[in-house]
Amino acid sequence: MCGIVGAVSERDVQGILLEGLRRLEYRGYDSAGMAVVGSESQIQRAREVGKVAALADAIEANPVAGHMGIAHTRWATHGEPSQQNAHPHMSGDRLAIVHNGIIENYQELRDELKAEGYEFTSQTDTEVVAHLINKHYQADKNLYKAVKTAMTRLRGAYALAVVHSDEPDHMVVSREGSPLVVGVGIGENFIASDQLALLPVTDRFMFLEEGDIADIRKDKIAIEDRDGNAVERSITRFEHASDSADKGEYRHYMLKEIYEQPKVVKATMTGRITDSRVLEQALGTDAAKLLENVRHVQIIACGTSYHAGMVARYWIEELAGVPCSVEVASEFRYRKHVIQQDTLFLCISQSGETADTLAALRQAKKAGFRAALAICNVPGSSLVRESDLVIMTQAGPEIGVASTKAFTTQLVALLLFSVALARHNGLSEEKEAEIVKALHLVPGQVSDVLALDGEIENMSKAFMDKNHSLFLGRGSQYPVAMEGALKLKEISYIHAEAYPAGELKHGPLALVDSEMPVVTVAPNNDLVEKLKSNLEEVRARGGELFVFADKAAGVKAEPGIHVMQLPSVHEITAPIVYTVPLQLLSYHVAVLKGTDVDQPRNLAKSVTVE
């Protein structure tokens, strides 16, 4: 999704902006651009379709040197990926703007501005904002005032950064619905849509809030809230090691992040459990008071995070006996719901900036849920700031578009939450101790699965020339199968569908033949015998099976049934461990197919628009 970087400094900002864009590449984009106010107070602009490297080449050939500039990676919403549609957009030759988000009333504004004589060179909603600000600029020749007035006309979601060559000492930025962070430097200041972009230049950040407008100078940051009050936004330090955004020895971020799982899964439980207990206080000082009265849990999330929520439903209902509903945010936000009394609203999001999830949270806060709990990976994100209680996952920055370590750490956080809730609902000390002991074993078990990487890579060859595949699981392994199917389709572009294994004969069995590989996760649990019958149904139709199974599950390898034995795992923690081989399988299929593993086509890391 689109990315913004900006800098006001003593030094030339080209390098800072380019490095910032490189660090935002993981979000997914189709073109990149930069506008810098030069020493003659003129705006110099470069825009290229494709990778940031193409922009870097263009800038090397024709430098855009200067002390203040804005830059952008665009993910097309209004208008195809093209140089003309790439940001920054200009109005005349003195005002430039970059924008994330979507302006919903852009057509109405475009018609109005056209009637007033403004000419459009792109199909974007952003150019409309550029002209609108320019129009207001003509009244007072004051950029800050012009942006502020223009904001009153904009409907939709946006983060904006605007420069004017007649005011070469400052830029004006604002946010409404899309994230924007100010990086605080010494004698220089920065802005970005994601703090990762600015880690080479600062580790101190101010998060702008909804409706904020800010004046950014090299030695001063002044912020006003939506009501026009001057406000201070507190400065927080970035918590993760700065090398966490590097690929290191790995070929792809996704592989690096898969391999980080033993460490980050452990980090997510560290300090929150003893040998035998979940430390409820570690989930938040108000956790005990809050959980005491919860009678229903409503989970909301998107994509991979939604799958984590689906696993959690099994845990919450099984361990706590508390009813739990799970829904994708984009559906939840557009329907009427019956809110049961004392319902806890639980949002799960890696980025904490997913537009649908945030919209659902904002609705829920008005609708009378008991409280809002967030499970999130990004400190300072909108979700974290707007929730009553937060359990942070400790995955560190996740750069690969396909979520891996974020998912397994979400599962850990959700299991801690489920146990804490269950304790208020009659979970015995023995059972809690059993689960916590099983949790302690998970990092080691994930390492054991990673040791099977070579075998999984070998297995992946069977998928290379296939167009479709089926993933099966039962019980809490059904969402694991869904997550495996999502991983395969998003990075290898092979069509993959997941089914609860018991549903096979109600339709999808018709698809099974030798061209349809069927992947199954089979830990040793109550459902394994039923699962084995489902596998027979596939085998009888000539389908080739790839089974990840507990040794004790007794699934035997034979022609057409490939079995990979996984470590013996407690039934409750099995979804965390069984996810990992499916991640590796997708990764290797994608590498064999030569797709862009870290930035799959058409996808973005952080989906900040609807």
- Is the N-terminal amide bond of 88 cis, ω within 30° of 0? yes
Q: Tell which positions 302-331 bind ligand F6R, by CB under 6 A.
A: 302-305
Residues 8-37 that bind ligand F6R (CB under 6 A): none
**Residue 558 DSSP symbol:** B
Helix or strand (DSSP H, E) at 156: strand 156-164
Torsion, Cα 289 295 301 306, to 10 degrees, reads: 120
DSSP calls for 40-59: TS-EEEEEEES-HHHHHHHH
Cβ distance to ligand F6R smaller for residue 49 or 590: 590
* Conformational region of residue 141, where left means phi above 0, alpha means psi within -120 to 50, and beta covers everything else: left
| Closest CB to ligand F6R among residues 120, 493 | 493
Distance CA 530, CA 522 (A): 10
Structure tokens at 345: 């609203």
**What is the nearest approach in angstroms of ligand F6R to the Cβ of residue 348?**
7
Give yes or no for residue 490 binding ligand F6R (CB under 6 A): yes
User: Nearest 5°: CA angle at 223, between 206 and 242?
Assistant: 15
Catalytic residue flag (residue 2): yes
Q: How far is the CB of 358 from ligand F6R (least distance, A)?
A: 9
Nearer of residues 54 and 328 to ligand F6R, judged by Cβ: 328
Segments in 77-192 forming alpha helices (H): 106-115, 125-140, 143-151
Q: Which of 2, 302, 324, 347 is catalytic?
A: 2
How near is the Cβ of 306 to ligand F6R at its closest, in Å? 7
Q: Which is nearer to ligand F6R, 122 or 354 (CB)?
A: 354
Binding residue for ligand F6R, selected from 122, 124, 195, 349, defined by CB under 6 A: 349
The three-state DSSP-derived secondary structure of 195-244 is: HHHHCCCCCEEEECCCCCEEEEECCEEEEECCCCCEECCCEEECCCCHHH
User: Cβ of residue 102: shortest distance to ligand F6R, in angstroms?
Assistant: 16
For 533, residues 6+ apart whose C-beta sits below 8 A from its C-beta are: none
The only residue of 151, 346, 607, 609 in contact with ligand F6R, by rule CB under 6 A: 607
Sole binder of ligand F6R in the list 330, 354, 393, 477 (CB under 6 A): 354
Site for ligand F6R in 356-415 (CB under 6 A): 357, 402-403
Catalytic option among 218, 266, 532, 605: 605
Residue 162 beta carbon to ligand F6R: minimum distance, rounded to whole angstroms: 27
User: Nearest approach, Cβ of 589 to ligand F6R (angstroms)?
Assistant: 15
- Among the listed ranges 64-72, 176-184, 291-299, 345-353, the one in contact with ligand F6R (CB under 6 A) is 345-353
Judged by CB under 6 A, which of 122, 178, 189, 350 binds ligand F6R?
350
Give 150: exposed, middle or buried? Use CB within 10 Å, 0-12, 13-18, 19+: buried
Per-residue contact string for residues 457-486; x = within reach of ligand F6R by CB under 6 A: -----------------------------x
> What 8-state DSSP symbol labels residue 318?
I
Q: How far is the CB of 602 from ligand F6R (least distance, A)?
A: 12
For helices 429-450 and 405-423, angle between their N-to-C axes, nearest 10 degrees: 170
Which residue has its beta carbon closest to ligand F6R? 303
347 is catalytic: no
Query: Burial level of 174, CB count in 10 A (0-12/13-18/19+)?
Result: buried
Contacts (CB under 6 A) with ligand F6R, residues 105-134: none
Residue number, 307 or 570, with CB nearest to ligand F6R = 307
Catalytic site positions: 2, 605
By CB under 6 A, name the binding residues for ligand F6R: 302-305, 349-351, 354, 357, 402-403, 486, 490, 606-607
